[in-house]
């Protein structure tokens, strides 16, 4: 009987591990404030902007709630009345999941974001479906969620931000492996339920790297 209980417990643990296989992939994030800048620049923006961000995921492997999420792409926009460094400030967000995802994948990803990124996203006021493209090459990232948000982020030459770590402000909104700072060539959110329309360009306002949930 003891042996049977041990086997049953092992199977239960294995089942749980299968249902929650680590979700991994590429991630890029654009803030409405510079994340790599001198202290005067940082302090000037701290109380006036930095209240919005775009987050984009391109999942390479893994599952949540027993649903395989490999290949799913999604973009979220989060907005607050205060700089996003204020963890206590109320937030709201909306999410677009690529139309190539199945309904089960979309539901599983939404559940994962609520469970694992609830504090970051705040109240998710809308989850919509639409075409999402996520391209990553040696030069950077290009993300487009049609009619919702887009971003072009370039790698910084010679990893410039890493040579002056004291000038890197904030932390990415999700935990990253090999976090780097990127140059935002352009980024925009068309406006909607999460907040007002915004556009940013020509600043070091992006983070990117690999995520592993």
8-12, 15-19, 130-134: the lowest-pLDDT one: 8-12
Q: How far apart are CA 7 and CA 35, in angstroms?
A: 51
Report percent pLDDT > 90 for the chain.
77
Higher pLDDT, 158 or 22: 22
DSSP letter (8 states) at residue 38: -
DSSP letter (8 states) at residue 36: B
Q: Give mean pLDDT, residues 122-126.
A: 97
Which pLDDT score, from 0 to 100, does residue 160 have?
65
- Closest residue by Cα to residue 90 from 98, 99, 81: 81
Contact 33, 205 (CB under 8 A): yes
Q: How far apart are CA 155 and CA 183, in angstroms?
A: 6
Helix (H) / strand (E) element for 85: namely: none
Three-class DSSP category at 107:
helix
Binning pLDDT at 50, 70 and 90, where does residue 125 land? very high
Three-class DSSP category at 132:
strand
12-26, 34-48, 80-94, 181-195: the lowest-pLDDT one: 12-26
Higher pLDDT, 142 or 38: 142
Task: Tell me the Cα Rg of the chain.
Answer: 19
pLDDT in tens, 154-179: 998 776 666 666 788 999 999 999 89
Domain ranges of the chain: 25-212
Three-class DSSP category at 194:
coil
Three-class DSSP category at 35:
coil
12-21, 45-54, 162-171: the lowest-pLDDT one: 12-21
Q: Give mean pLDDT, residues 131-149.
A: 96
Contact 187, 71 (CB under 8 A): no
Binning pLDDT at 50, 70 and 90, where does residue 43 land? confident
Contact 74, 119 (CB under 8 A): no
Which pLDDT score, from 0 to 100, does residue 75 have?
98
Owner of token pair 């092992």: 10
Which pLDDT score, from 0 to 100, does residue 2 have?
46
Q: Give mean pLDDT, residues 194-205.
A: 96
pTM above 0.75, yes or no: yes
Which DSSP string do the residues of 6-24 spell out, in sequence order?
HHHHHHHHHHHHHHTPPPE
First to last CA, the chain: 36
Q: How far apart are CA 113 and CA 105, in angstroms?
A: 12
Contacts of 69 (CB under 8 A, 6+ apart): 23, 59, 62, 63, 105, 108, 109, 112
Contact 74, 109 (CB under 8 A): yes
Highest mean pLDDT among 30-44, 63-77, 146-160: 63-77
Binning pLDDT at 50, 70 and 90, where does residue 8 land? very low
Which pLDDT score, from 0 to 100, does residue 102 have?
98
Q: Is the pLDDT of residue 11 over 50?
A: no
């Amino acid at each position: 009987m003891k042996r049977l209980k041990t086997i049953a417990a092992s199977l239960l643990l294995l089942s749980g591990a299968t249902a929650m296989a680590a979700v991994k992939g590429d991630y890029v994030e654009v803030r409405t404030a510079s994340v790599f800048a001198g202290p005067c620049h940082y302090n000037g923006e701290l109380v006036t902007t930095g209240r919005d961000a775009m987050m984009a995921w391109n999942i390479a492997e893994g599952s949540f709630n027993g649903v395989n999420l490999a290949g799913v792409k999604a973009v979220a926009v989060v907005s607050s009345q205060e700089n996003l460094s204020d963890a206590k400030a109320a937030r709201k967000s909306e999410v677009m999941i690529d139309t190539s995802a199945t309904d089960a994948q979309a539901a599983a990803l939404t559940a994962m974001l609520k469970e694992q990124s609830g504090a970051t996203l705040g109240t998710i006021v809308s989850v919509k479906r639409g075409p999402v493209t996520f391209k990553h090459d040696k030069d950077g990232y290009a993300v487009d969620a049609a009619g919702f948000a887009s971003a072009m982020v370039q790698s910084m030459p010679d990893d410039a931000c890493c040579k002056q770590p004291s000038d890197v402000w904030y932390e990415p909104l999700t935990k990253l492996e090999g976090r780097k700072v990127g140059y935002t060539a352009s980024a925009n959110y068309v406006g909607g339920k999460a907040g007002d329309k915004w556009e940013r360009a020509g600043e070091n306002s992006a983070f990117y790297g690999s995520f592993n949930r």
